[in-house]
């Protein structure tokens, strides 16, 4: 984050999403897309508890397959934004209650 | 924002979007949806320059009509997230260049 002042709350959220994608996308290969291992690292670091509870790699593979809408094996920024939007919608209810996503968040891939 | 620590960058972005929606949605009527005037205020305050350049109300009306996907006259949180996702995708290119959305942002509704 290298944001000077005069950035609104909504713009700040957009900057954070752009920076998050870039941070993980640049770790291997194309900086404009997330490989499967980059998606896994991103979810482990940014959404702790979401996939850490997954018992095996298959759950992560299934998740990635579902998120890679155009089936090219990587997740581009548009696909990333669809995921973030869906997750934010899913956690609006719990957030309205407890006001803290890090507490609301449960291991949704535990089986 | 009433976020204690242990919130990741991506979770923070989600909190900011949730708080932004709530802040404007609660100003009149249903706190779970944005009326047309709430959308206008939200865009004026959070995306300065985006609609402030619009010469007349018709541009804002057309925008709202396009964003109200289910045609019920208000924007719910899911519709709001689609808009935020689309705007973030649109401004990724300029952001990668200048690193500041408040500088990148242009009055896209000026005609």
**Numbers of helices and strands, H then E, in chain B:** 6, 2
Interface contact A16-B18, CB threshold 8 A: no
ipTM, interface predicted TM-score of the complex: 0.82
Q: What is the pLDDT of residue B106?
A: 47
List of chain A residues with pLDDT < 70: 1-5, 51-57, 59-60, 69, 99-111
| pLDDT tens by residue, B94-108 | 888 876 665 555 443
The structural domains of chain A, with segments of one domain joined by +, span 11-104
A87 phi and psi angles, rounded to 5 deg:
-65, -40
CATH topology of domain B9-104: Recoverin; domain 1 (1.10.238)
Mean pLDDT of chain B: 79
> Is any Cβ of chain B less than 8 angstroms from the Cβ of A110?
no
pLDDT score of A110 = 36
pLDDT of residue B54 exceeding 60, the answer is: no
pLDDT at B74 over 70: yes
Q: Which of A3, A4, A7, A16 to mutate to test the interface with B (most CBs of B within 10 A)?
A: A16
Instruction: Compute CA B64 distance to the chain's CA centroid, rounded to the nearest angstrom.
Output: 11
Whether residue B102 contacts residue B50, with contact meaning beta carbons closer than 8 Å, is answered with no
Best mutation target, A86, A88, A102, to test chain B (most B CBs within 10 A): A88
With an 8 Å Cβ cutoff, is B59 touching chain A? no
Q: Kindly report each contact of residues A67-74 with a partner whose C-beta sits within 8 Å and lies 24 or more positions away, as own/partner.
A: A67/A39, A73/A35, A73/A36, A74/A30, A74/A33, A74/A34, A74/A35, A74/A36
**CB-CB contact of B16 with A9 (8 Å):** yes
Class of A11-104 in CATH = mainly alpha
Regarding predicted confidence, which is higher, B17 or B70? B17
Contact (CB, 8 A) for B59 and B95:
no
Q: What does residue A13 show for φ and ψ, rounded to 5 degrees?
A: -60, -40
C-alpha dihedral sign at A24, A26, A27, A30 = positive
């Amino acid at each position: 984050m290298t944001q000077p002042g005069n950035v609104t709350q909504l713009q700040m959220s957009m900057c954070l999403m752009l920076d998050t994608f870039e941070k993980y996308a640049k770790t291997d290969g194309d900086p404009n897309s997330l490989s499967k291992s980059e998606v896994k690292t991103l979810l482990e670091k940014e959404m702790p508890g979401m996939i850490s509870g997954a018992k095996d790699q298959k759950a992560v593979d299934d998740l990635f397959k579902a998120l890679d809408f155009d089936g090219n094996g990587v997740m581009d920024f548009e696909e990333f934004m669809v995921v973030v939007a869906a997750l934010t919608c899913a956690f609006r209810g719990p957030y309205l209650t407890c006001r803290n996503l890090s507490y609301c968040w449960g291991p949704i891939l535990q089986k």
